[in-house]
Chain A
Amino acid sequence: MATSAGLNAEALSSRLQQLAQQTGIQQWDLGASCSTDTSVQVDRGEAKQMKGAQRSAITVRVWNGDGLVGITSTSDLSDAGLARALAGARDASAFGNADETPAFSPLATAPLASLEQPLHEPQPILTLLETLKQAERQLLDRHAAIGTVPYNGLAQRSSERLYLNSEGACRHQRLTTASLYLYARAEEAGRKPRSSGAVRLAYGTANLDIQGCIDEAAQRTIAHLDYAPIETGHYTCVFSPEAFLDLIGAFSSLFNARAVLDGVSLSQRDSLGQTLAVPFLSIRDNGLHPGNVGASAFDGEGTPTAPLDLVDGGVLRHFLHSEATARAFGVPPTGHAGMGAKVSVGVDWLEIGATPGSGGGQQGLNRLGHDGPVVVIDSLSALHAGVKASQGSFSLPFDGWLVQGGNSRSIEAATVAGDIRTLLQAIVGFEGEAKVTPDGLCPYVWVEGLSITGEA
């Protein structure tokens, strides 16, 4: 059922159907995945670690005679493993939640969007190693202060996903991806070490923008060498596309129907149609965007991936849904579900920018041409610790620059703090074209009056 050639959907479905019949289970579904990975890391011209992995996993979900749901997950795709998983799911179903029972997605057999995802043959690991060694060498050669690239990696993956259910739904997706990350550490005599980096994704190693990754990592690292502390106070801030997407992603429970139903979102059931942000802000979830490398054609319940407007003209328009939350709201599922006894819901890939026809806020914003001081927030750290999504507050360390009179200087160490609802109402406008990042599409975003704590 899982072989070196991948998952056999037909065999898996057939075997599960047999086992289900033997145990009196009428309704079941299954999510399965397998992958083969290779990756390398280097350290000053030498291989640091080379890794390979073959992984397989399934999650089986069954409905018992009372209609209650239980699940079990396993990496054992043998006959014995499947039988044990099915029995475990049946046992767990005795504790299923009678107040909210998931069902099959009504869209589990609906047509899927066609994704342009070329499959690439993996490269030999020693080729990966040489490629990464050269990239590291080039990055080290960019500046005398760059002494090491302590965090680096070149990885490639070949993977498959399946969704099957007892009513005949069968989703199958194959994918190859590759990734490169380079984080350099630079230090000048008598000064503190500084670090920054870059990431690139592609469908195959041969398509990775390696030079772009080196250039960006070098530029970012060198730009932080000349640093100074910043005075604590309130500043106009300019979020990089990556930083703003990270922040919105950390507060995505605003758009999450699961969180709304659980009472842990800042949004309520009746928040749809209410103003959340400045009237020129749009946030759209679009996992099908061609810039989303590794996009999934369907979610954990087999629902097709599709674009969804979350915020338009500053107004909250839609929530992200699983089958169960969609049923509770009386709408179709949106393709954002995981798989489980209690199904999780999450964002896919966000497009953030100006609402068409809105004017887009203040025009002609240019951080380097701005008279007053602005703080450019290039990357945020420790979102897991510094974001209180259910409360709306955040206090986050960041890397960035203080720009004044056209001069830009790296900030030694600082945090930015605020409330997400206040921030969304304090957006001034956008700068430049939207940039494609691994998490979405976004331009630079200007926000007024954020609290910055520095060490000056």
Chain B
Amino acid sequence: MVASAPDAFDLAWQPRLESLLAVGQGAGADLVEIFLERTDHLGVLAEQETITSVSPSFGMGAGIRVFRGDRDGFVSTNDLSDSGLLQALDQALGMLGLLRSSAPAAQFDGLGTLRDFAAAKADWLERCPSLAEATLKLLDGTGRLAHHGRHLQARRGSYSRDWQAVLVAASDGTFARDIRLHQSLGLNVLAADGDHRAGLGRRYGTSGRPDDLRAWDADASAQDVCASVGTMLYADYVEAGQMPAVLANRFGGVIFHEACGHLLETTQVERGTTPFADKVGEPIAHAAVTAIDEGLTDGAFGSLSMDDEGMEPQRTVLIENGILKRFLSDRAGERRTGHGRTGSGRRQSHAFAAASRMRNTFIAAGPHTPDQLIASVDKGLYCKSMGGGSVGPTGQFNFAVEEGYLIENGQLTKPVKGATLIGEAKEVMPRISMCANDLELAAGFCGSVSGSVYVTVGQPHIKVDSITVGGR
């Protein structure tokens, strides 16, 4: 039977963790890291005028990682008992051909002073809206969709609250704990009128703000969603081809995230899958482009007090005026590629080893107005809202355009649907020739090697001189 763990990651854990770390070091590991996690999640779904799903969950677990040279072994477990953790450590050591030894650890001086980011956040969970309050707010949202929308066949509102307490201890003395809170709200609609159908959604999310659901302007969100779906319901399919494109601010930043950001993670350097591996100090983008990744913006989805390896986040300038400045790096990335850590070691949960991942990633504002960008295009595509996308192992990316408009003679004209932007980062980055002055951020999720993590994407309006638009 699994033993229940203590309710809090407090200093009572220190001797247990030090004992485990000493065992790992004594066995010959270069570095041992233990990540402890407790979670409390609530998901609520409202459809039309009914709450159709309430899904609470809670859990706990540990991830133990052992490094020796460039290699590492990682084991995760739900069993936080002493025997469970020791068994996991043994398994991780065994992956590297190491065995527990009775000899004392020669180079382990114990954990450092606890860096406690959690203490000030201890009441976050109880300050969050109650289940009753959350359901009322969601029903308010779906009701406002009905009020503002036409031809709506389905209306959905969803709320997610993720609370996570973590403690990181490593044999280099790292000892830190934190509490994270992410809340998000989504409104989705499906509109249908005869053969015309359009589906569209928006998501709003923050971190570290227990009261945020209360502050949500449901009416403004519903108006935004209904206006967009009403326009797209009767849109024609876009004509395929090569053309200039202007991408709107906020979630338009997903293109940089997918097309370039992932290629600036040391995970990609390790795999040999980034074309930028040896380009630090060289131009990789148009001189108009400066790009930043940071974990510091108050309330942003990708902000952190510390990363999942116990390091405080930095503001990392990735590209400055088109020149590649540095990569995002985690512990393994630093060991294997030499790029210094940037507080970017992130993971979905204890079940994943941390990897270099983006946090709040955006293209910096430029000198132009959005209208100047649109006015500079004779015939092209304006991407007001982007859907999801992905990047392949050779750097090829693709993005769905959720809400698009034709640009004709420097003016926005009719709405178009069914567009997909495709290309390669190496080729597209030099074609981002204009950046507007209206930088905004948007909450999102990023799935990659260490699972799904909370991120922010962002940009001002940008112009891409030429890109392939898939359509009909």
Those of B231-259 within 8 Å (CB) of chain A: 237, 240-242
With A52-B74, A183-B393 known, 18 other A-B pairs at CB within 8 A are: A1-B2, A49-B353, A54-B76, A54-B79, A54-B84, A74-B59, A76-B2, A77-B1, A77-B78, A148-B272, A232-B241, A262-B47, A263-B153, A385-B399, A385-B420, A395-B418, A397-B420, A397-B422
A positions within 8 Å CB-CB of B: 1-3, 43, 46-57, 70-81, 84-85, 88-89, 91-92, 95-97, 99-100, 125-126, 147-148, 150-151, 183, 185, 192-195, 232, 262-264, 340-342, 381-382, 384-386, 388, 390-393, 395-397, 413-415, 417-418, 451, 453, 455
Q: Most chain-B Cβ atoms within 10 A of its Cβ — which of A46, A50, A262?
A: A50
B472 within 8 A of A: yes
| A92 proximity list for chain B (CB < 8 A) | 54-56, 131
Using known A-B contacts A3-B1, A341-B55, determine if residue A50 contacts B387 with beta carbons closer than 8 Å.
no
Q: Are A455 and B242 in contact (CB under 8 A)?
A: yes
Q: Are A52 and B3 in contact (CB under 8 A)?
A: no
Quote the shortest CB–CB distance from A378 to chain B (angstroms). Answer: 14
Q: Are B77 and A54 in contact (CB under 8 A)?
A: yes
| A147 proximity list for chain B (CB < 8 A) | 272
Q: Are A78 and B240 in contact (CB under 8 A)?
A: no
Q: How far is the CA of A386 from the CA of B422 in the complex (A)?
A: 11
Q: How far is the CA of A53 from the CA of B60 in the complex (A)?
A: 13
B97 within 8 A of A: yes
Quote the shortest CB–CB distance from A443 to chain B (angstroms). Answer: 27
| A391 proximity list for chain B (CB < 8 A) | 197-199
Using known A-B contacts A76-B59, A415-B420, determine if residue A185 contacts B190 with beta carbons closer than 8 Å.
no
B396 within 8 A of A: yes
| B4 proximity list for chain A (CB < 8 A) | 76, 78-81
| A96 proximity list for chain B (CB < 8 A) | 54
5 intermolecular pairs with C-beta atoms under 8 Å apart = A1-B1, A1-B2, A81-B2, A341-B55, A393-B237
Q: Which residue of the partner chain, among B273, B418, B468, contacts A185 with CB atoms under 8 Å?
A: B273
| B469 proximity list for chain A (CB < 8 A) | 453
B398 within 8 A of A: yes
Quote the shortest CB–CB distance from A125 to chain B (angstroms). Answer: 5
Instruction: Give the interface size bracket for B toward A.
Output: 35 or more
Q: Name the residue on B nearest A419 (C-beta).
A: B472
Quote the shortest CB–CB distance from B214 to chain A (angstroms). Answer: 19
| A390 proximity list for chain B (CB < 8 A) | 154, 190, 197, 199
Quote the shortest CB–CB distance from B167 to chain A (angstroms). Answer: 17
Q: Which residue of the partner chain, among B2, B57, B61, contacts A2 with CB atoms under 8 Å?
A: B2
Those of B1-41 within 8 Å (CB) of chain A: 1-4
Quote the shortest CB–CB distance from A106 to chain B (angstroms). Answer: 23
Quote the shortest CB–CB distance from B407 to chain A (angstroms). Answer: 19
Q: Name the residue on B nearest A88 (C-beta).
A: B56
Using known A-B contacts A385-B398, A397-B396, determine if residue A264 contacts B190 with beta carbons closer than 8 Å.
yes
Quote the shortest CB–CB distance from A188 to chain B (angstroms). Answer: 13
Q: Are B418 and A150 in contact (CB under 8 A)?
A: no
| B92 proximity list for chain A (CB < 8 A) | 52
Q: How far is the CA of A84 from the CA of B218 in the complex (A)?
A: 33
Using known A-B contacts A95-B131, A341-B53, determine if residue A74 contacts B400 with beta carbons closer than 8 Å.
no
| B419 proximity list for chain A (CB < 8 A) | 395
Q: Are B51 and A97 in contact (CB under 8 A)?
A: yes
| B91 proximity list for chain A (CB < 8 A) | 52
Q: Name the residue on B nearest A78 (C-beta).
A: B4
| B423 proximity list for chain A (CB < 8 A) | 413
Q: Are B420 and A386 in contact (CB under 8 A)?
A: yes
| B393 proximity list for chain A (CB < 8 A) | 150-151, 183, 185, 195
B390 within 8 A of A: yes
Quote the shortest CB–CB distance from B50 to chain A (angstroms). Answer: 6
Q: How far is the CA of A390 from the CA of B152 in the complex (A)?
A: 13
Quote the shortest CB–CB distance from A242 to chain B (angstroms). Answer: 16
Those of B54-99 within 8 Å (CB) of chain A: 54-61, 70-79, 84, 88, 91-92, 94-97
Give per-residue flags for B367-411: 1 if the beta carbon is below 8 A from chain A beta carbons, else 0.
000000000000000000001111011111011100000000000
Quote the shortest CB–CB distance from A5 to chain B (angstroms). Answer: 11
Q: Are B273 and A150 in contact (CB under 8 A)?
A: yes
